[in-house]
Amino acid sequence: MLPRRTLLLLTLATAATTAAAQDTWPSKPIRIVVPFAAGGTSDIIARTLGDKLQTALKQTVIVDNKAGAGGVIGADSVAKAPGDGHTILLGTIATHAINPALQPKMPYNAAKDFAPVILLGSISNVLLVGSEQPAKNVKDLIAAMKAKPGSFAFASAGQGTSQHLSGETFKLLAGVDITHVPYKGSAPAIQDVIGGQVPMSFETITVAMPHIQGGKVRALAVTSAKRSRALPDVPTLAEAGVPGFDVASWQAIYVPAGTPPAVVQRLNAEIEKIIAMPDVKAKMEGLGLEHQPNTPEQFAAFGRSELAKWAKVVKDGNVQP
């Protein structure tokens, strides 16, 4: 056991280091790494936050798109960056929950190599059918699937996406036999549902909304536990007859492990202020992103639950990478 004087000195040293980190950070430009291509939801969110953080922190903020491997390449670059608060990751359900559950060999440890900062919000997926499909609700769709096992397929934006795992969860909870058809992105997937090549898909509300409003596809249910503000008249899958269904894509901010706690707390506080700004709030809601204020500790607990949840889905569904 350390002497009392030593403990006191260590406590004072820690407090001084924390204060110094808060006073001197940021001391150079901040880089927000987006592990996906420019123009997508993650990129739009990062650029919106970056513009506001630049003003709040009085420091240049650069958005750096490092796409590839379902977000793994960009996330890995942040995991291996210095923990000084100058490199930030726009992480998602893919980088920190699905890929770690799905990929047998990951270059980073999602639970240990990052410090969670804030959960920016969740975007529900929506179960879509083509306008020519006879099913008017989820119960009709499930009945048709059970009448002809193996004859239905669902489209997704790609292997390992939240859209794909929404379909796998549907298979497990609804007890149906349907085939996954992965596409290279949301655009070609939804076009084939519109054209009738594939009867159904799971898609983010952000992508699906214009096609729903245009009558090209029909929304049968949302995948989140609560109804979406963007589609208030569309039931959840749990309400529609698939109890326990709760899948939502989410966006979040991480920094490398070892980043001073004072910097993590400052980032959390500044981003909460930014999200509350009327123009940012409107943009986020336009993307279908629903935010609840949260601390780094609350977000860390959420992250642990998501890792466990998707590991179970991948195992129970025998989902292959």
CATH of the domain at 56: 3.40.190.150
* Residue 255 belongs to a domain: yes
197 and 60 co-located in one domain: no
Half-sphere CA count of 62, side-chain side, radius 13 A? 9
Helix (H), strand (E) at residue 176: none
Q: What is the pLDDT of residue 214?
A: 96
> Is 225 within 8 Å of 246 (Cβ atoms)?
yes
Query: Which residues are bridge partners to 31 per DSSP?
Result: 62, 87
Find the domain containing 35 and state its range. 29-122+250-316
The structure's pTM equals 0.80
Helix (H), strand (E) at residue 100: helix 99-102
> Is 91 within 8 Å of 114 (Cβ atoms)?
yes
Average pLDDT score over the chain: 91
Mean pLDDT lowest for which of 90-99, 235-244, 271-280, 310-319? 310-319
Final residue of a structural domain among 175, 206, 222: 222
Q: Measured between alpha carbons, how far is 50 from 45 in angstroms, rounded to an integer?
A: 8
* Residue 9 belongs to a domain: no
145 and 208 co-located in one domain: yes
Number of structural domains, the chain? 2
216 and 270 co-located in one domain: no
> Is 167 within 8 Å of 178 (Cβ atoms)?
yes
Q: What is the pLDDT of residue 8?
A: 59
Q: For 163-190, what is the mean pLDDT?
A: 91
Query: Which has more pLDDT, 178 or 185?
Result: 178
Q: What is the pLDDT of residue 139?
A: 96
Strand stretches in the chain, DSSP E: 30-34, 61-65, 87-92, 114-130, 152-156, 178-182, 200-204, 217-222, 248-256
Residue 49 pLDDT exceeds 90: yes
Question: What distances in angstroms separate CA 177 from CA 126, 150, 238, 310, one per listed residue?
Answer: 19, 5, 19, 20
Q: What is the pLDDT of residue 17?
A: 47
130 and 218 co-located in one domain: yes
CATH of the domain at 143: 3.40.190.10
